[in-house]
Amino acid sequence: TILEADDLILNMLQHDFKNFKIQYPTSNVTESVANKLARRLHLLPNHPLNILKTRIEIYCCNHAQTNGRSQFRIFDDRNPVVNIKNCFDDLLVGKDHVSRQSSDTYYIDSDKLLRTHTSAHQTTLISQHLDAFLCSGDVYRRDEIDSTHYPVFHQMEGVRIFNKRELLASSGVQVDPSNPEKLNEECSRLVSRDLQELLTGLALSLFGADCELRWREDYFPFTRPSFELEVLFNGQWLEVLGCGVIHSQVLRNAGLDPEQSSGWAFGLGLERLAMVLFQIPDIRLFWSTDERFLQQFDGRSPLSRFVPYSKFPACYKDVSFWLPSHGLQDGSSGFHVNDMYEVIREAAGDLVEKVQLFDQYRNEATGRTSHAYRILYRHMDRSTSQTLHV
């Protein structure tokens, strides 16, 4: 079956990467990324990501119980190997969207990939007749190198589905059933209100009852309308999450009739929130196995604030090179800056703190382009030196 095939791919990635590359020679998944698949930081007791995940789950479940709603099912161990249909097509992500490109996504083959968001499981879970669930897990994206970006991070997805007639009846709203446009408009308003009520309470529980919040309209292809929740934290507006009313076509793709059903969905990045709430300055720290990091967190209230246990000087190296003179049929090199970031990550791992493309030059006579990158090395636990080994 498809699920068994996905499990075999995952097992090969985790335990036999050499054979995986033989079986899937066109895959752009690197060994360093494959080595992260088994870590599952969001499931490690007393890890900051697990602490935050657990708090969100408890709040949402308590909110459901208090308001007499069906309880959320918790999913946190779904296979990160998914197909294009679930990850992109079902969610109305355009064929030309940047997230589909191999420069941004880790592909197994032309149909399989490492999920780029936990929303990749949304239509599958809805199709299983689940009306409320929370789904968290590790997600994978090729990205730049700095203190807030990492090729593996963690998200949480929340979904609740409503029967439209029951929703209107429970809200005491009367709408002429012969006016479907008015009915859909009123249901969208009620679903949006329910969603924003839950997430406003969640944000207040995480950031404090006195924090200032604001809702802003946004755009996502899979929700309509779409919203963004921001929190005023340390004098700056921080984007906390994105959410909205599930697009009618997404409901159809999940096997529901949008004339009968509606629902909301939200998604949030666990690292993004944890870095703020625990005051963790560098995303690489989440992957540390140093007890000086791990022993600082225990899940009790109030949340522990990270205390730096080392401070080592940075070490810079510059590198420049000509881009390939040809590669694609249109005459371009086919090179993307994320390709360079992947090479650096694979060679130096978490020793690299930041990479900056600081200069580009085009030789008009030859048509060649050169890039110059500055690589900042800083180890979390020990000093680095300027020594170059050849």
Q: Distance between the two ends of the chain, CA-based, in angstroms? A: 49
Which pLDDT score is estimated for 390?
A: 40
Where the chain has pLDDT below 50, the residues are: 328-331, 388, 390
**pTM of the predicted model, to two decimals?**
0.92
Residue 302 preceded by cis peptide, ω within 30: yes
Distance, in Å, from the CA atom of 116 to the CA atom of 126, rounded to the nearest integer, reads: 19
Distance, in Å, from the CA atom of 262 to the CA atom of 246, rounded to the nearest integer, reads: 7
pLDDT digits (tens, 9 = 90+) for 148-205: 999 999 999 999 999 998 999 888 888 777 788 888 999 999 999 999 999 999 999 9
**CB neighbours of 207 closer than 8 A, spacing ≥ 6?**
231, 233, 277
CA distances (Å), 212 to each of 232, 279, 301, 389, in order? 5, 19, 21, 52
Which pLDDT score is estimated for 183?
A: 87
Distance, in Å, from the CA atom of 162 to the CA atom of 261, rounded to the nearest integer, reads: 6
Token pair for 48: 């900051």
What b/e sequence results for 86-114 when a residue is b if at least 16 CB atoms lie within 10 Å of its CB, and e otherwise? bbbebbbbeeeeeebebeebbbbeeebbb
**CB neighbours of 14 closer than 8 A, spacing ≥ 6?**
34, 37, 38
Distance, in Å, from the CA atom of 153 to the CA atom of 141, rounded to the nearest integer, reads: 8
Count of alpha carbons within 13 angstroms of residue 179, beta-carbon side: 8
Which pLDDT score is estimated for 330?
A: 46
pLDDT digits (tens, 9 = 90+) for 39-77: 999 999 999 999 999 999 999 999 999 999 999 999 999
Which pLDDT score is estimated for 100?
A: 95
Token pair for 303: 């949340």
Which pLDDT score is estimated for 217?
A: 96
The partner residues of 113 in beta bridges, in order of sequence, read: 82, 107
Which pLDDT score is estimated for 333?
A: 62
Please provide the size of the chain in residues.
Answer: 390
Alpha helices (H) in 215-315, listed in sequence order: 248-253, 270-277, 291-294
